[in-house]
Chain A
């Protein structure tokens, strides 16, 4: 400390403050205390790596059929067995990870963007526009989400893209409401009022003051939402409204193999496990982030 003339105002422990506090480092410091959350992160990272390198790792092609080798149990050659077309289940699950993770991420990113935009407008500007948007959210939330997704896909036609779109739409109100309530609180904050008293435009206030401070709950909700999005995509796939055969989407695999549940349970078991693990992983991450992003962590 070069200057000491401000001694009465000097922080109690200068060394403590000298440490560079990067937001991400702080986040990781808090996050890693939660062992389950670290496990969740491990699961998801593993799935992401497997999905990215599926083409290299997978022992066989996704649609390589061997009529002589139908419904084989797990063995050293086919680690997870084969399905009713003699296709390697492991390879299909690895490629399916691509589809499921993409759907999960893209759908959630879509809902986050739209939900945040609409939520900020509703929360910040209030009055009639808030009433309009909030009632819109209410309408969307009045339907059970999967039913709404089915309805949307029924209108648009069954395909993975439309399933993705449907999932994005049904999750918009979740984010919209979170952002709206957060903004309602933030706009009463003194530093937002200070920004206004400085003469700042609303758009600038939103971008620099409101949005950065409302990110924490959105990040948590987005992580949890990826899990539900994957589950919803699988459900739509299972119902034949999402990915179409022969795409190796996990829900689709479950539905294609369900007739063989008794004679070849591995055909259903392993895709189910894959779904469960990713959903579990995202949920663990979400919980961990929620604790790590807690405003009380500011130390």
Chain B
């Protein structure tokens, strides 16, 4: 068993506007060194908020984030700044995440300047090396972001994240703004980099096939909570939670004659400022039972580490169906 690099326990984020918005409501998971955990869910389910809390870009309302033995929630601003060297982020929109007035060299060099790594010449050398690593020509260093395509920009964003040799990378929808053909290239790049630099990824996305491609384990979020978490193949081949089943059945299959089991979801995702009582999914669940409306289901885990929060499995010791 490899060591645990990140342990998130009961993480919560409530926003206090007119109503309390429970954007993230008790999320727990662990990340082992070198693995990729995918987080999927509809927009507004709190997956990006979770990622931002791990970066302390927003502060958690409750819970702990233990990274390499240190609880990030308790760190001072100064300590956190030093910690950022080990945790880096890749952003969703490659058009917005690069300062339009800076050259590529400047953009990639910046984290190294901030963390006082090397001297000027070494940094420039490293920028060139990083550009080559992410599959760009080192001749591009003096150019500006607007001279690049979306895929190239995302590679630049990845190079920036790699500059300080982080251990954990939080990728917040890193390919959702890209063309499908470019998505594959970037995903493969992330895959290669993971092997090369022993990186750990937290991969946030809404695209199930993208997550399947890159993740070792997958967590499904609904209304600020993880409803199911399992090994990739386990989750995709034997989904347990009705929500996961519905999500998976909505993935288009490139075979028009294939008859698949359809689980269609009705209605909209409820407002996180006024979540339903009991199981948060009961308003849309095709298998809703009477107790779902009042009682919050407990988490259950089987011997494979397949974790699910649903009343269907609450009464069974072993969740096998």
Contact = CB atoms under 8 A, between A and B. Distances in A.
Contact of B89 (A21, A194, A200, A201): A194
Given A198-B110, A199-B114, A11 B96 contact: no
A191 B81 contact: no
B143 interface: yes
A213 B100 CA distance: 8
Interface residues of A, number: 28
B81 A201 contact: yes
A21 B152 contact: no
B148 A11 contact: yes
Contact of B96 (A21, A191, A196): A191
Candidate in A21, A191, A209, A298 with the most chain B CB atoms within 10 angstroms: A191
Interface in A68-108: none
B136 A197 contact: no
A194 B172 CA distance: 12
B55 A199 contact: no
Contact of A200 (B91, B114, B137): B114
Interface string B145-163: 0111101100101001000
Interface string B168-195: 0000000000000000010000000000
Contact of B101 (A3, A6, A212): A212
B96 A190 contact: yes
Given A9-B135, A11-B147, A189-B96, A198 B91 contact: no
A6 B136 contact: yes
B84 A197 contact: yes
A198 B96 contact: no
A193 interface: yes
Contacts of A189: 96
Contacts, number: 81
Contact of B93 (A3, A21, A190, A201): A190
Interface string B65-90: 00000000000000011111100110
Contacts of A204: 114
A8 interface: yes
Interface of B: 55, 57, 80-85, 88-89, 91-93, 96-102, 110-111, 114-115, 135-137, 139, 143-144, 146-149, 151-152, 155, 157, 160, 164, 185
27 contacts: A3-B137, A3-B139, A6-B135, A6-B136, A8-B185, A9-B151, A9-B152, A9-B155, A21-B144, A189-B96, A190-B91, A191-B97, A194-B157, A194-B160, A195-B110, A197-B57, A197-B88, A197-B89, A198-B88, A198-B110, A198-B114, A198-B160, A199-B80, A199-B85, A199-B115, A208-B99, A298-B100
Interface of A: 1-3, 6, 8-9, 11, 17, 21, 23, 189-191, 193-201, 204, 208-209, 212-213, 298
**Chain A to chain B: the 5 pairs with minimum beta-carbon distance, closest first:** A199-B84, A190-B97, A190-B96, A199-B81, A198-B111
